[in-house]
């Protein structure tokens, strides 16, 4: 089962970003119904693939679905003129609220990803718990900072500043976040003096 998940991890991981790629491209050309409707459909397809492959749906997956549902309702049902202006603020606020909430309830969202790679006997270890709390807090900070950039983008406006602050800078921070994911766990485990097989090192 573990090998099957590793084999299917690459395509499902890529699929997770496809709804946002469609959203970004369509909204960039001011096709907001295509952005929200297409994103919602692709998000549902992605979740269906997860269920079919026996992969659990994570908090971030549910948050993505919620955001697209809200966007689709606003664009198709209410025909909102506000959503295109504040979409980036809404998106990053949704992710930040979900991430911070996972910390407040004592279930940091990165734990669900880490458990797919870490052995079960490691799940309740203080090092594992602390590691995922720190990683989740980093992502909470990143998403909160992105809200700030999105708000500044709305205030400044313009054809260059708004997409740069709402999409360009947040995307760069996301890349840094994934680099952090790839490097921090092994370093933290090494500093903690805890040894587990390299292939089992937890990562979000």
Rounded distance between C-alpha atoms, residue 117 and residue 113, angstroms: 7
d(CA 148, CA 143): 9
**pLDDT tens, residue by residue, 87-128:** 999 999 999 999 999 999 999 999 999 998 888 989 999 999
- C-alpha span between 68 and 164 (Å, rounded): 22
Q: What are the pLDDT digits (tens) for 28-80?
A: 899 999 999 999 999 999 999 999 989 999 999 999 999 999 999 999 999 88
Query: Could you tell me the pTM of the whole model?
Result: 0.87
């Amino acid at each position: 089962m573990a090998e099957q998940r590793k084999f299917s991890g690459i395509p499902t991981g890529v699929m997770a970003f496809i709804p946002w790629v469609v959203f970004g491209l369509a909204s960039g050309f001011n096709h907001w119904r295509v952005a929200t409707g297409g994103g919602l459909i692709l998000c549902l397809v992605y979740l269906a693939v997860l269920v079919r492959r026996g992969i659990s749906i994570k908090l971030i997956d549910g948050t993505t679905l919620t955001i697209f549902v809200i966007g689709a309702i606003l664009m198709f049902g209410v025909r909102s003129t506000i959503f295109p202006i504040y979409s980036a603020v809404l998106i990053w606020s949704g992710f930040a609220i979900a991430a911070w909430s996972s910390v407040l309830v004592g279930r940091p969202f990165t734990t669900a990803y880490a458990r797919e790679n870490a052995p079960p006997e490691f799940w309740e270890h203080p090092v594992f718990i602390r590691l995922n709390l720190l990683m989740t807090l980093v992502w909470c900070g990143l998403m909160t900072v992105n809200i700030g950039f999105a708000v500044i983008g709305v205030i400044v406006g313009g054809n260059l500043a708004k997409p740069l602050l709402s999409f360009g800078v947040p995307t760069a921070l996301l890349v840094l976040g994934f680099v952090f994911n790839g490097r921090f766990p092994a370093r933290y485990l090494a500093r903690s003096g805890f040894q587990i097989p390299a292939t089992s090192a937890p990562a979000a």
